[in-house]
Amino acid sequence: MQRWTAPIHNQNHRKLMGFHILLGMLYFITNGICLLLVGPDASPYLPAMALTSFCLFLLHGLLAVGCGYRFEAARKASEVLGAFMMIGFPIGTLLGYFLLQRTYWLAPRP
């Protein structure tokens, strides 16, 4: 994987890593609460909800690790994920905006 080697003037890769960790925990906690609230009555939906929760948690975890190592692929995947999150109005739009704000790692040109 290509690693970002240009001088970085900001710490956006660390901010992006922290934001991915926060989002992964948020998905895991909210889906866990939903699983507890629906109880055994929604048995056909339980595996799908658990799998969705785990996949989103894993996705944000992997992107957090990639952003911590400043991998270019993690930055681009974060941009795509932020763009998809913008569709979910109003909370997804807000979270997607904050995610997209942190995907810029380049130093400004003189």
| 5 φ, ψ (degrees, to nearest 5) | -110, -10
Q: For residue range 4-28, list pLDDT tens digits in order.
A: 655 555 678 888 999 999 999 998 8
Taking the C-alpha atoms of residue 62 and residue 20, their distance in angstroms, rounded to an integer, is 9
Residue 65 structure tokens: 């690790």
pLDDT in tens, 45-90: 778 878 888 898 999 999 999 998 888 899 899 999 999 999 988 9
Token code pair at residue 49: 């909800």
Long-range pairs, 90-98, Cβ under 8 A, ≥24:
95/23, 98/19
Place of tokens 């739009």: 93
DSSP letter at 9? S
- Extract the tokens encoding 83: 């763009």
pTM, two decimal places: 0.82
Q: 32 vs 7, 43, 68, 84, 90, CA distance in Å? A: 40, 15, 27, 23, 22
